[in-house]
């Protein structure tokens, strides 16, 4: 394998690490409170990204894995985390809060209204039974 090909795969590995962590932070934020689903998505995500990376290695250099390729992935993830993650996470927070306002909050309000109606009906039934019991005494 020539030097140009090694440099090319090293740069791809660097970008792959940054992209890997970008989508990982998106999945982590999207499924923040759903721990079981989040863990399943993380396992599935790691599996898919590993397959994609090795497929990229097969295309670029016949599947040869050098020790510094994973190190470049870690370096790309570190650079993303150090320089881009704070801005991207703020952007994700804005997106998730808007999605929450559009989709989740109206559903929550309707459910809370239904709960309050059912609670009021249940209290009225209890009060009606108490009045009948007091009338018999």
* 72-130 pLDDT, tens digit each: 999 999 999 999 888 888 888 888 778 777 877 777 777 888 888 877 877 777 766 66
pLDDT tier, 135 (very low <50, low <70, confident <90, very high otherwise): low
| pLDDT computed for residue 107 by the predictor | 77
Per-residue b or e along 18-28, where b marks 16 or more CB atoms closer than 10 Å to that residue's CB: bebbbebbbeb
What total number of domains does the chain contain? 1
Q: Which of 16, 43, 41 is nearest to 30 (CA)?
A: 41
Whole-number pLDDT of residue 134: 61
**Of the given ranges (3-7, 36-40, 78-82, 86-90), which has the lowest mean pLDDT?**
36-40
Whole domain around residue 88: which residue ranges? 3-136
Q: Is the C-alpha dihedral spanning 79, 82, 86, 89 positive or negative?
A: positive
Banded model confidence at residue 60, pLDDT cuts 50, 70, 90: confident
Is the model's pTM score more than 0.95?
no
More confident residue, 132 or 26: 26
pLDDT computed for residue 92 by the predictor: 81
């Amino acid at each position: 394998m020539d030097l140009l090909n090694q440099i090319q795969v090293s740069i791809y590995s660097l970008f792959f690490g940054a992209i890997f962590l970008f989508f990982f932070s998106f999945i982590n934020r999207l499924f923040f409170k759903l721990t079981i689903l989040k863990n399943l998505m993380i396992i599935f995500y790691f599996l898919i990204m590993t397959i994609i990376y090795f497929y990229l290695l097969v295309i670029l250099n016949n599947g040869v894995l050098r020790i510094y390729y994973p190190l470049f992935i870690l370096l790309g993830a570190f650079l993303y985390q150090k320089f881009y993650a704070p801005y991207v996470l703020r952007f994700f927070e804005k997106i998730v809060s808007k999605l929450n306002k559009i989709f989740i909050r109206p559903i929550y309000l309707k459910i809370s209204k239904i709960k309050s109606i059912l609670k009021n009906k249940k209290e009225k039934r209890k009060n009606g039974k108490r009045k009948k019991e007091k009338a018999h005494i």
